[in-house]
């Protein structure tokens, strides 16, 4: 589904992504862990095309996408949410979701018809709002949402780009314990054939969702395996968990 082959990226002398390779099968859910500044967000940016790699290859569904623009990759089925909320100021939840769906379904060309009001899109937008727990706030402007609700919309927008591969960058950061639980449940309810790559620092969430784990450090993959193996890996403990994780 998604294949990354020897991907590298440097900012000046700083190698932020260093020969990263991994492979995601359809329906696989993988968590990317790593200390701050390990290059996780950068990896996402390389995958989505916001940054161009120095070397290496990215394949989606067997197609090499290195030369493709971000928007073209979205059409191939890549969707993402951002580490920092990246919403449409002044637009309501519903408007934002419908717009996202219209873009994905290529309904944005018309100068005459309002494709964002097509029955299929309106319904799907409501569904997604329901999935991220924003049904009651569908007509509320993004600016008036609480922080937690914004995080949920952030994920909603990623879902609305109807991805085959969903990338989520720390979806639960800054969200209180109760909403974090709701998020985990939501991901659990997503169709099983959806491939997910997620960056998380909240290990409960991470291990709850994950089928497999990749750990990055200084841009390098230092661990690739199952969650159970990750928990017990000495290296992961050393560079990422520290001793603290146990008693938090």
One character per residue 202-231, x = contact with other proteins (rule: CB under 8 A): -x----------------------------
Structure token pair of residue 232: 């017990």
Q: Which stretch binds ligand ATP (CB under 6 A): 11-19, 103-111, 122-130, 152-160?
A: 11-19
Burial 103-129 (b: 16+ CB within 10 A, else e): bbbebeeeeeeebbebeebeebbbebb
Residue owning tokens 């390098």: 220
Nearer to other proteins, 179 or 186 (CB): 179
Q: What is the dihedral of CA 49, 25, 120, 65, to 10 degrees?
A: 20
239 binds other proteins (CB under 8 A): yes
Nearer to other proteins, 108 or 226 (CB): 108
d(CA 23, CA 59): 9
Handedness of CA 227, 189, 104, 41 (dihedral sign): negative
One character per residue 118-157, x = contact with Mg ion (rule: CB under 5 A): ----------------------------------------
Question: Exactly one of 24, 34, 203, 221 binds ligand ATP (CB under 6 A); which one?
Answer: 34
114 binds other proteins (CB under 8 A): yes
Q: Which stretch binds other proteins (CB under 8 A): 20-28, 35-43, 188-196, 223-231?
A: 35-43
End-to-end CA separation in angstroms for the chain: 36
180 binds ligand ATP (CB under 6 A): no
Instruction: State the minimum distance, in angstroms, from the CB of residue 182 to other proteins.
Output: 11
Instruction: State the minimum distance, in angstroms, from the CB of residue 21 to ligand ATP.
Output: 17
Q: Which stretch binds ligand ATP (CB under 6 A): 19-27, 40-48, 57-65, 115-123?
A: 40-48
The interface with ligand ATP within residues 70-109 (CB under 6 A) comprises: 83
Query: By the criterion CB under 5 A, which residues form the site for Mg ion?
Result: 41, 83
């Amino acid at each position: 589904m998604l294949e990354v082959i020897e991907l590298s990226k440097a900012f000046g002398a700083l190698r932020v992504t260093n020969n990263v390779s991994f492979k995601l099968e359809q329906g696989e859910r993988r968590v990317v862990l790593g200390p701050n500044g390990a290059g996780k967000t950068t990896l996402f940016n390389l995958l989505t095309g916001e940054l161009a790699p120095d070397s290496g290859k990215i394949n989606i569904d067997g197609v090499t996408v290195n030369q493709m623009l971000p928007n073209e990759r979205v059409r191939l089925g890549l969707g993402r949410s951002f580490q920092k909320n990246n919403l449409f100021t002044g637009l309501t939840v519903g408007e934002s979701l419908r717009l996202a769906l219209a873009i994905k379904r290529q309904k944005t060309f018309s100068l005459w018809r309002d494709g964002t009001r097509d029955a299929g899109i309106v319904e799907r937008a409501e569904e997604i709002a329901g999935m991220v727990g924003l049904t009651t706030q569908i007509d509320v402007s993004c600016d008036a949402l609480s922080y937690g609700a914004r995080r949920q919309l952030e994920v909603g927008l990623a879902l609305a780009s109807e991805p085959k591969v969903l990338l989520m960058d720390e979806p639960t950061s800054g969200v209180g314990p109760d909403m974090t639980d709701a998020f985990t449940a939501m991901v659990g309810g997503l169709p099983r054939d959806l491939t997910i790559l997620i960056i998380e620092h909240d290990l409960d969430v991470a291990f709850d969702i994950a089928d497999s784990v990749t750990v990055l450090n200084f841009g390098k993959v230092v661990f690739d395996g199952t969650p159970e193996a990750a928990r017990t890996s000495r290296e992961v403990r050393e560079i990422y968990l520290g001793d603290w994780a146990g008693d938090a």
